[in-house]
Amino acid sequence: MAHYRSFLLPGAQLDPSTAVLDARESAHLVRVLRARVGSRVELLDGAGQIYQAKIEVADPRAVQLSIVDCRSVAAQSPPIQLVQSVPKGKAMDLILRMATEIGVESIQPVFTSHGEVQLSAARLKAKQEKWALQLVEACKQCGLPYRPQLLAPQRLEAALTTQAASASALRLVASLESDSQALYTCLQQAQQSQQVDSIVIAVGPEGDFSTEEYALLRSAGFQPVRLGQQVLRAETAVAYLLSVVDQWRQSLL
């Protein structure tokens, strides 16, 4: 059993028998976790491969390891995409971690009318880099074989326009509208009436989607669903919706 866990970031080197970690992961493994020569390390590549390895050179700039074993993990099906309105503060960090742990395939951050988030180009770039690291840290903490694809943030209307249409996709939007269906009812109907090949979930800001945005979502095939009787914070709504949908997904297997 590995005592440590690291992620194979783009700067890492890998061949069938050896691996060299990038500077960031090397420093964390040696200087923070105090791993030494001979320590066992589990390596994740974020694409379904999990390697068991042993440290041969404990260099904090480039840890060198020998590969002991490798196994492949199949991706979950049908894949889930989260379309998430960027919330204020640090809530997005928590949302990204939870979505990764539950097993979404991709995350599309969007800007919405009531989101109250305005970022300069430089600030947005820094946010994206931070968000990408949140996905890596979630994978490392929980030993997850797959890291979600983090798509470039854009306005909701642009994201809906660029989404590939699929008649077999199940599209759900967490809704505070009076005519929204109960989530469980909607999932039951989908299981009975269609073959689902993908799932897309949209969650708005705490100020909710605007009337115009709900109209856009409906025209893109999203079904409005309610999440119980209470009004939930954005991060709570994501955890609730993804957890229920993931359990339903497991029932399809």
Q: To 10 degrees, the CA torsion angle through 238, 244, 246, 249?
A: -140
Separation between Cα atoms, residue 111 and residue 160, nearest integer Å: 12
Separation between Cα atoms, residue 216 and residue 110, nearest integer Å: 13
Same domain? 196 vs 124: yes
Task: Say which CATH number the domain at 14 has.
Answer: 2.40.240.20
Same domain? 56 vs 99: no
Q: What was the pLDDT predicted at 124?
A: 84
Cα→Cα distances 85→103, 104, 116, Å: 19, 16, 10
- The sign of the dihedral angle between the CA atoms of 75, 80, 84, 90 is negative
Same domain? 64 vs 87: no
DSSP letter for each residue of 71-114: EE-PPPSS-EEEEEEPPSTTHHHHHHHHHHHHT-SEEEEEE-TT
Residue 100, sorted as left (phi over 0), alpha (psi -120 to 50) or beta, turns out to be alpha
Domain-ending residue, one of 26, 42, 72? 72
Same domain? 117 vs 242: yes
Same domain? 54 vs 87: no
Print the domain residue range for 213: 80-251
Same domain? 176 vs 215: yes
Residues 85/203, Cβ–Cβ less than 8 Å = yes
Spatial neighbors of 208 by CB under 8 A, at least 6 apart, are 114, 176
What pLDDT tens digit does each residue of the chain (253 aa) get? 568 999 999 999 999 999 999 999 999 999 999 999 999 999 999 999 999 999 999 999 999 999 999 999 999 999 999 999 998 878 999 999 999 999 999 999 999 988 756 777 788 888 899 999 999 999 999 999 999 999 999 999 999 987 766 778 899 999 988 889 999 999 988 887 778 899 999 999 888 899 999 999 999 999 999 987 788 888 999 999 999 999 999 888 7
Separation between Cα atoms, residue 120 and residue 126, nearest integer Å: 10
Instruction: With residue 248 as reference, give the H or E element that holds it.
Output: helix 234-251
Same domain? 199 vs 177: yes
Same domain? 161 vs 189: yes
Q: Which of 46, 11, 239 is nearest to 150 (CA)?
A: 46
Instruction: With residue 219 as reference, give the H or E element that holds it.
Output: helix 211-219
Same domain? 92 vs 41: no
Domain-ending residue, one of 41, 72, 103? 72
Task: Say which CATH number the domain at 198 has.
Answer: 3.40.1280.10
Same domain? 128 vs 228: yes
Total domains present in the chain: 2
Separation between Cα atoms, residue 208 and residue 206, nearest integer Å: 5
Separation between Cα atoms, residue 78 and residue 106, nearest integer Å: 12
Domain-ending residue, one of 56, 72, 88? 72
Q: What was the pLDDT predicted at 33?
A: 95
Same domain? 185 vs 166: yes
Same domain? 28 vs 90: no
Amino acid (one-letter) located at 114: H
Q: What was the pLDDT predicted at 120?
A: 73
